[in-house]
C-alpha cells in the first residue's frame, strides 16, 4: 500500500509540468487526493461487512474533489487523474498501472445488469478529456482514447481510438507518449477532403464530356456556373468553374474552422 501511494505521488511530477513541489501536489491536486481516499475506501470495501463506510468515504471524496470513484473499482499503481473534475469510475471498473485520465472521463456501464459491467483498462492507457468508455469491454495496453470519444467495443493494444462511436484510426507497436493525447488524426477531415476532391474530379470529367458532345450546351453551362458564383469571385465566362472548392465556406471548413 505504501509503495503504491509513493508511486501515485511521484508519477505526477513525471506527467505534469505544472507540478513544482511536493506540498503543492499533496494539497492542490484533486486527482491525488481522490486516489488516496479511494484506496482507503477500497481496502475497507473488502475488509469490513458494512458497505456504508466505504461509500461514505467515496461520497466525501466526490464532494472535495469532484471525482467519483466507487469503492469497488480496482485501480493500479501510478495512475494519474489530471484536473479530474467530472471523472466517474464505476464499481467493477479495472484500471491498469500508469494510466492517465483527464477531466470529464466516464468509465461506466451500459445497463443495470449484475456482475462485471464496467470497462477494463490495460497499462499506460491515455483517456482524453470528456471521453466515455462504457460497458464490460477490454482496452489494451498503450491505447490512446481521443478527447470526447465514446468507446463501446474492445480495443487491441497499441491503438488510437477517436470519434463517436469510437473507432481505431492508428495502430502501432510504439509505446504511447502520455502527454500527446491532443495530437490525434482527424478521420472525418480526411474523408471529407477526399470526397470533395473526388467531386471536383467528377465535375471536370462531366464538363469535358459535355464539351465533346455538345459544344454549344457546354458553353452555356460554363456561363451559368460562372454567374452563380459572382458573389464570391470574379470569374471569366470563358473559364467554366469545375467545383465549389473556391467557395469561401468550403475553404474555411477544409482549413479546419469547420472541424
pLDDT band for position 259 (50/70/90)?
Answer: very low
Confidence check: pLDDT of 116 > 70 = yes
Ranges of each domain in the chain: 2-180, 187-254
Q: What is the pLDDT of residue 257?
A: 42
Confidence check: pLDDT of 221 > 60 = no
Assigned C-alpha cell, 137: 469491454
Q: Any idea which architecture 2-180 has in CATH?
A: 3 Solenoid (2.160)
Per-residue pLDDT, averaged over 99-119, amounts to 87
pLDDT tens per residue across span 142-190: 888 988 888 888 888 888 888 877 777 777 655 545 555 555 556 566 6
Confidence check: pLDDT of 256 > 70 = no
pLDDT tens per residue across span 95-106: 998 999 999 999
Per-residue pLDDT, averaged over 236-249, amounts to 47
Q: What is the pLDDT of residue 160?
A: 85
| Range with the poorest average pLDDT among 46-60, 63-77, 95-109, 128-142 | 46-60
Per-residue pLDDT, averaged over 27-56, amounts to 87
pLDDT band for position 139 (50/70/90)?
Answer: very high
Q: What count of other Cβ atoms lies within 10 Å of the Cβ of residue 203? A: 17
Amino acid at each position: 500500500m505504501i509503495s503504491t501511494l509513493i508511486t501515485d505521488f511521484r508519477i505526477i511530477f513525471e506527467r505534469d509540468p505544472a507540478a513544482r513541489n511536493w506540498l503543492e501536489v499533496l494539497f492542490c491536486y484533486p486527482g491525488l487526493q481522490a486516489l488516496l481516499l479511494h484506496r482507503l475506501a477500497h481496502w475497507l470495501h473488502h475488509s469490513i461487512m458494512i458497505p456504508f463506510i466505504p461509500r461514505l468515504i467515496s461520497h466525501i471524496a466526490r464532494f472535495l474533489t469532484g471525482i467519483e470513484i466507487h469503492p469497488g473499482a480496482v485501480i493500479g499503481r501510478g495512475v494519474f487523474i489530471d484536473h479530474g473534475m467530472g471523472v466517474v469510475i464505476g464499481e467493477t471498473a479495472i484500471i491498469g498501472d500508469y494510466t492517465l485520465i483527464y477531466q470529464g472521463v466516464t468509465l461506466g456501464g451500459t445497463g443495470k445488469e449484475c456482475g462485471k459491467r464496467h470497462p477494463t483498462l490495460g497499462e499506460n492507457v491515455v483517456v482524453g478529456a470528456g471521453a466515455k468508455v462504457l460497458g464490460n469491454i477490454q482496452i489494451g495496453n498503450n491505447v490512446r482514447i481521443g478527447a470526447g470519444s465514446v468507446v463501446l467495443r474492445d480495443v487491441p493494444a497499441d491503438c488510437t481510438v477517436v470519434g463517436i462511436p469510437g473507432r481505431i484510426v492508428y495502430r502501432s507497436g510504439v509505446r504511447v507518449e502520455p502527454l500527446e493525447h491532443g495530437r490525434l488524426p482527424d478521420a472525418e477531415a480526411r474523408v471529407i477532403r477526399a470526397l470533395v476532391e473526388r467531386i471536383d474530379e467528377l465535375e471536370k470529367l462531366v464538363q469535358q464530356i459535355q464539351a465533346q458532345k455538345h459544344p454549344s450546351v457546354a458553353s452555356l453551362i460554363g456561363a451559368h456556373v460562372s454567374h452563380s458564383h459572382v458573389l464570391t469571385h470574379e470569374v471569366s465566362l470563358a473559364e467554366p468553374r469545375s467545383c465549389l472548392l473556391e467557395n469561401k465556406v468550403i475553404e474555411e471548413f477544409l482549413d479546419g474552422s469547420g472541424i
